[in-house]
Structure 1
Amino acid sequence: MVRRAVALLATLIVAGCGGLADPAGGPSKGTGGIGPITFATGRDTTAYLRPLLDRWNQAHPAEHVTLLELPEAADEQRAQMVANLQAHCDCYDVLGLDVVWTAEFADAGWIVPLDRSMFPLDKLLEGVADTAIYRDRLWAAPYLSNAGLLYYRSDILKKEHLKPPKTWAELRDQATRLSAKYHMGGYAGQFLPYEGLTVNFAEAVQSAGGEILSPDARRVTMDLSTAKTALDFLVGGLKEGWIPQEALSYKEEESRLAFQEGRLLFARNWPHAYGPATHSGIAGKFEVTRLPGLTGPGSSSLGGLNLAISAYSKRQKSALDFIRYFTGRDNERLVLTQGSFPPVWADLYDDPALIRRFPYLPVLKESILSARPRPVTANYNQVSLVVSSAVSGALNLSKPVDETVADLKQQLGEVIQPGG
């Protein structure tokens, strides 16, 4: 029902697009256009944005930016963007792209390349700029970085004289014993079948010492034994009860609320969940650490948001000026202080004043630098759908783990084959 509603909304927006970029179906020729612009991005990242946008609008009244809020889930954001871009709609000027969409949007001709010299890429966190580069060209400006963290109830662990878990065995032991003692769920991530589940599975595989695809996404490099170990960790948690069954319906927001409302001892989530938790009933009772792994600290998937210019925008000059401003250091500081989102400027993570206010910054920096980017491929959406669908079947106990990973490897091979 939700998917049908999203599809209908996308169709209505496409139908209402003002003039096509080019009668022949090509991108806009008005690359120097100046005037009011739109900024399309997911609703899950917009709560803090309006005051930041107001600063730009007050200084640039002739280039007023209007925020277009897309659905919360990344899959639905992409679907709505793609529907409009395929129709060559000029309703978007600046696009907030998940870092894994760069290759697809560039390959399709939906975004325009940027001049590297106009952006201080050398001042950003190591590896972040790579998420905006495809075939040696810069296609977007890094705006937010991201890495998964383990949120935990520090008050309960302190009471039990325990340190936060560094391994899966420690997480399993603490979640099992303490959830029963304190009548809470043990652990949850994002286990609904969507991009979030793909990320959670990829992190489990990485944290067991493996990978799913080669970095260039041309080969399936998933070792069946390692993938089975990773999936067994998650499936075992559901079978044994330290991962509650309701976690199978969790996206980021549901898992954030479950932890924030005191229903979970441990939760995997992105850093943006930190700010709201400090203003909730568990304020002062939680902390964050790196994700645990099979034998020690694990590895997150590298997340984040990049800002790109639509190839069909008629005001690309204003869009470029806005992106340069919005990814500048001063605004990036506000991204952290106003939104609790990870900035991309490296030196902000070492600022003593910011560390005092956001004590998790050193852990977050370590998590980002140790995170792995997802495969760079124009077929990433297909890859993600195959992974999340297969893993969901195993988590719901409708398919054995051994059979799941074997079938997944075969399906991935079919997706990444030329023409597949």
Structure 2
Amino acid sequence: MATTNKAQRVAFAGLSVIAVLATAACGGGDKATSGESTAALNWDQKGPITFVQGKDNNNLVQPLLNEWNKEHPNEKVTFVQLSASADEQRQKMVDNANTKGASNFDVLYLDIVWTAEFAAKQWVHELPKDMFPTDGMLQPAVDGATYFDKLYAYPTSSDGAMLYFRKDLLEKAGIKEAPKTWSDMKAACTKVKALPEGKGLDCYGGQFQKYEGLTCNITEIVNSSGAEFLDKDGKPQVNSEAALKGVQWLQDSFKDGTIPKAATTWMEEPSRQAFQDGKLVFLRQWPYIYSLMQAKDGSSKVADKFGIAPLPGLEGPGVSTLGGHNLAISKTAKNLGTARDFIKWYGEEAQQKTAAQKATLAPTRESLYADADLVKQLPYLPVLKESIATAKARPKVVAYNDATQAIQDASANVIAGKDPKSNFEGLQTKLTELTK
């Protein structure tokens, strides 16, 4: 994710996990004002450090830190656990920067969407690429940790949305594969709803409540229509003809019932519940829901009845919003050598595999998507890799909080039936101001 108050990852029953999901993506926009020379920093200084992230209900972090601390008794890492709210996590990190390290925060677990802001405002150190190699990592994840061609964080987990579909019903309707376009999806729904088993089902669901999840969904719709929020030069393009085709599709889908009106109240969990209760044919969602829907304890009506595919788009496969988290070094950190070594260790294949097994965190290490044991446990990994490989970040704007609010306002108006063109021309103006 998505995404917390910016998207939340919740109970992962199959692995007895309750985790906080953040499906945010990378920010960016204004040029970095940092003029620091990484060569002038003392990367040899070692000693105790702190590791700061949101609530760890899945008990992933402390066991990993115990492993590190056992091997590095003079460089112990202390876990500083913040709240489950992404907004509150960010604010605590901002407070630490503004008070020149009063909270003693060293290594920060940054939601990918915060990268640009923290880099541009000089709250984190640039990471020398020769010290922090990213070979073998998924390129979109590396891009999400990069700001103006400089690495400011180390990619440790990624995420991508996928299309969950009722494979059993599509097969009964004579449909052999998941749809690749929105029109194919609507046609499939018509056939499924004509079946006795399809009576009363809704077609498609996503996360359309006015919160960060709506930004994820509308970004995907715009990108999947062949458009983009910002071009390669960082200039907004949300009022382009292609973008408006995607936005119009969203409005039309609510009007004709393809997307149920109830979806305007859906975040991650209500949408997951609707599909899991057998009320939807298709659902746009993150991978964390897989084992919940495969539960054999009677809580899921779709266990062994669904499939997973890449998102559909206007004229072909769609584009997911990029999610994930990166590790960054606070500008107030002192023991940079330990911070560097710990971050690299935390991002190694072994630790990422543990994170995938215990918390369903998508690896940034490409090799893990072919790991036989991991694929057996998480069979959606090949589709997820495809989703992440083509994923795009949300609009790269340093003032991301303002940008996402503007995106949500315009999108909610369109869903409510207001004119797409005028609303997205207004959004174009707002984003232009924010990206100057």
Aligned-partner Cα distance in 1 for 2:254–2:66: 46
Residue 98 of structure 2 aligns with which residue? 86
Among 298, 302, 315, the residue aligned to 2:322 = 302
Aligned-partner Cα distance in 2 for 1:393–1:353: 46
Q: How does 1:36-185 map to 2 (within 5 A)?
A: 37-41=50-54, 46=58, 48-60=60-72, 63-72=76-85, 74-75=86-87, 77-88=89-100, 89-162=102-175, 163-175=177-189, 178=192, 181-185=198-202
Residue 340 of structure 1 aligns with which residue? 360
- Assess if the C-alpha contact under 8 Å between 1:75 and 1:195 holds in 2: no
Identify if the C-alpha distance between structure 1 residues 308 and 349 changes in structure 2 by more than 3 Å, giving closer, same or farther.
Answer: same
- Assess if the C-alpha contact under 8 Å between 1:90 and 1:314 holds in 2: no
Deviations 1:30-73 (A, max 9, x none): 98462252321366x8565454444445545662432514334x
Residue 422 of structure 2 aligns with which residue? 403
Q: How does 1:134-283 map to 2 (within 5 A)?
A: 134-162=147-175, 163-175=177-189, 178=192, 181-217=198-234, 219-279=235-295, 281=300, 282-283=302-303
- Assess if the C-alpha contact under 8 Å between 2:230 and 2:396 holds in 1: no
- Assess if the C-alpha contact under 8 Å between 2:47 and 2:338 holds in 1: yes
Aligned-partner Cα distance in 2 for 1:173–1:203: 21
**Counterpart code for 2:278:** G
What's the offset of the Cα at 1:152?
1.4
**Counterpart code for 1:236:** D
Aligned-partner Cα distance in 1 for 2:202–2:61: 33
Q: Does 1:380 align with 2:400?
A: yes
What's the offset of the Cα at 1:343?
0.3
- Assess if the C-alpha contact under 8 Å between 1:206 and 1:299 holds in 2: yes
What's the offset of the Cα at 1:198?
1.6
Identify if the C-alpha distance between structure 1 residues 240 and 77 changes in structure 2 by more than 3 Å, giving closer, same or farther.
Answer: farther
What's the offset of the Cα at 1:328?
0.7
Q: Secondary structure at the match of 1:103?
A: helix
Deviations 1:247-290 (A, max 9, x none): 22222233233323433322111222223333352332222100
**Counterpart code for 2:90:** R
**Counterpart code for 2:381:** L
Q: Secondary structure at the match of 2:282?
A: strand
Identify if the C-alpha distance between structure 1 residues 220 and 304 changes in structure 2 by more than 3 Å, giving closer, same or farther.
Answer: same
- Assess if the C-alpha contact under 8 Å between 1:216 and 1:376 holds in 2: no
**Counterpart code for 2:214:** L
What's the offset of the Cα at 1:109?
1.4
What's the offset of the Cα at 1:190?
1.7
Aligned-partner Cα distance in 2 for 1:310–1:267: 38
Aligned-partner Cα distance in 2 for 1:361–1:222: 32
- Assess if the C-alpha contact under 8 Å between 1:210 and 1:223 holds in 2: no
- Assess if the C-alpha contact under 8 Å between 1:46 and 1:69 holds in 2: no
Identify if the C-alpha distance between structure 1 residues 236 and 334 changes in structure 2 by more than 3 Å, giving closer, same or farther.
Answer: same
Aligned-partner Cα distance in 2 for 1:302–1:372: 5
- Assess if the C-alpha contact under 8 Å between 2:211 and 2:408 holds in 1: yes
Write 1 or 2 for the structure with the bigger share of helix.
Answer: 1
Aligned-partner Cα distance in 1 for 2:341–2:247: 45
Gaps of at least 5 residues in structure 1 are: 4-28
Identify if the C-alpha distance between structure 1 residues 338 and 131 changes in structure 2 by more than 3 Å, giving closer, same or farther.
Answer: same
Moved more, 370-379 or 290-299: 370-379
Among 360, 365, 380, the residue aligned to 2:385 = 365
Q: Alignment RMSD, CA only?
A: 2.8
Aligned-partner Cα distance in 1 for 2:187–2:87: 34
- Assess if the C-alpha contact under 8 Å between 1:216 and 1:377 holds in 2: no
TM-score (norm 1): 0.82
Aligned-partner Cα distance in 1 for 2:193–2:87: 32
Identify if the C-alpha distance between structure 1 residues 377 and 331 changes in structure 2 by more than 3 Å, giving closer, same or farther.
Answer: same
Deviations 1:158-201 (A, max 9, x none): 23222322110122233456468343332221212233212211
TM-score (norm 2): 0.79
What's the offset of the Cα at 1:244?
2.1
- Assess if the C-alpha contact under 8 Å between 1:154 and 1:285 holds in 2: yes
**Counterpart code for 1:319:** A
Q: How many residues align?
A: 387
**Counterpart code for 2:306:** F
Deviations 1:44-103 (A, max 9, x none): x8565454444445545662432514334x455434533443343424332222223211
Q: Does 1:324 align with 2:341?
A: no
Gaps of at least 5 residues in structure 2 are: 6-40
**Counterpart code for 1:39:** V
